Chains A and B, each alone.
Chain A
Amino acid sequence: MDLIGAIRDVDPGDVVLLLSDSDRSLTDVPEWVEEAGNELRAVEEGDDHHEIYVEKV
């Protein structure tokens, strides 16, 4: 949800890095990114938190 707010604020071509400690983000975020037509740049899973890079198209 926070990611969507951040995507609203940036320009096309900008990449937003989401830090999330919820495993749910690993499925929710790629699903939304595809639905909204944005680009998933990278997903780095970690023990403490995951890092998900999304480019606004």
Chain B
Amino acid sequence: MTEEIVIIGGGTGGSVLANDLAERLDEEIDAGDVQVTLINDGPDHVYKPVWLYVPFGKREPEDGRRPLRELVDNRIRIREDRVTEIDTDAQQLSTAERVSPTHYDHLVVATGSTLAPDEVPGLAEGGHDYYSEDGALALRDELLEFTEGHLVLSVIGSPHMCPAAPLEFVFMADDWFRKRGLREEIEITYTYPINRVHGNPHIADWAQPLMDERDINTETFFNGEEVDPEAGTLTSMEGSELDYDLLVSIPPHRGVELIEEAGLGDRGWVEVNKHTLEAEHAENVYALGDAAATGVPKAGSVAHYQAATVGQRLASEVRGQVPTAAYDGKTICFIETGMDSASFVEFDYQNPPSPVTPSEKIHWSKLAYNESYWLTARGLI
């Protein structure tokens, strides 16, 4: 009988894993012993880091989209469909396009993050974001018109995708306005939920002096609770209020609903063993990337490294061997510190990050990686 491996989600984690399995299990797949199916609710793979550059006119959303079929090995079946229910007891999925359920022997949940601005009253109407294609385009229009006033970048969602991106945005905005001779007329304020400017204390200690140097105001212990779009105010759970002329937020995030309905975890994040990435509340289920609640950042590099762990473990299981591969928390991240300089961090469960001195070389490395990312999605680097 053919052993069925099903991956839900064709983002970074799902695509890298599919290609990893195509290579690792090529003989088993060719012999018909194993079938790997990747289910995605659209035809395209989306590389979200491109969106950071869209508001500044440096990239277009299409630069971050490619058809999944061009990226994923032909040994992998790609199904464009939407999973509507996971039954972990029967080991089957219901989907929007098929009447009969889809059986799995091994399931990998790679359903990522979604935005939930509606959880904060007024945010959808009053705020902008660059965490979606539409949001990034609308923000670009606003930024081009913005020549004076108060720009507030508020980190509201926690956890949220790419923890470095809020810092990057204000560093880039500062530099962008400065180069255009507008900075004197524009006040920039950055708000963060806890008592420093980043969740990781090492990154916070590195970023705070840079923000001070550039006259970027910081408001910590600030958890946006309500936006009044007409008055242009953002109030926090802690009782403070900020006036804004342009509000850019990192909205609340959720995973997809079917995860909670399947009993795999709250708010769409699958509870997993942070080393093996096995779901805590079901057999034969893994989760990776943003969908897995591991405590590490919701970032592409994490999904990439976790895919290698899950790929090795699934291959061992298919071959009747004890899986030994484990994820060590490895995360890497480029951090833009302006329009032409960047830093870089690397850390894992044991070793904290230590951001390197920003340079133009690292900025170009980041842009070069963003282009070579398509080789990552194809499983080549």
- Measured CB to CB, the residues of A under 8 A from B are 1-2, 4-5, 7-9, 21, 24, 28, 31-32, 35-37
Count, chain B residues at interface, CB 8 A = 17
Smallest Cβ-Cβ distance to B239: which chain A residue: A37
B236-254: which have CB < 8 Å to A? 237-239, 252
Residue pair A36, B158 in contact (C-beta under 8 Å) = no
Per the bound structure, the CA–CA distance linking A32 and B221 in Å amounts to: 7
State A35–B47 Cα separation when bound (angstroms): 37
| Nearest Cβ on chain B to A17's Cβ, whole angstroms | 13
Q: List the B side residues contacting A2 at CB < 8 Å.
A: 158-159, 295
Which of A1, A8, A9, A37 meets B194, CB within 8 Å?
A1
Q: Which residues of B contact A (CB under 8 A)?
A: 119, 157-159, 193-195, 199, 201, 221, 223, 237-239, 252, 267, 295
A–B complex contacts, Cβ < 8 Å, 5 sampled: A1-B199, A5-B252, A7-B237, A31-B195, A36-B223
B252 touches A32 (CB 8 A): no
The 7 closest A-B pairs by CB, nearest first: A1-B158, A35-B221, A36-B238, A4-B193, A1-B199, A5-B158, A35-B238
Smallest distance from the beta carbon of B160 to chain A beta carbons, Å? 9
The answer to whether B223 touches A4 (Cβ under 8 A) is yes
**Residue of A at shortest CB range from B237?**
A36
Q: How far is the CB of B224 from chain A (nearest CB, A)?
A: 10
B27 to chain A, nearest CB (A): 40
Contact A1 B193, CB 8 Å, known A32-B221, A36-B237, A36-B238: yes
Q: What is the chain A residue whose CB lies nearest that of B195?
A: A31
Tell me the nearest residue of chain B to A24, going by C-beta. B201
Cβ–Cβ contact A5 & B201, under 8 A: no
A28 partner residues in chain B, CB cutoff 8 A: 194-195
Enumerate chain B residues within 8 angstroms of A8, measured Cβ to Cβ. Answer: 119, 223, 237, 252
Whether the Cβ atoms of A32 and B159 lie closer than 8 Å is: no
Give the Cβ gap from A23 to chain B, nearest Cβ, in Å: 11
Contacts of B199 in A (CB 8 A): 1
With A and B bound together, what is the CA distance between A9 and B221 in angstroms? 18
Is there contact, CB below 8 Å, between A1 and B237? Answer: no
On whether the beta carbons of B195 and A35 are closer than 8 Å, the reply is yes
The reply to whether A37 and B119 contact each other, CB–CB distance below 8 Å, is no
Which residues of chain B are near A31, meaning CB under 8 Å?
A: 195, 221
B194 contacts A32, C-beta separation under 8 Å: yes
Query: How far, in whole Å, are A2 and B266 apart by their CA atoms in the complex?
Result: 12
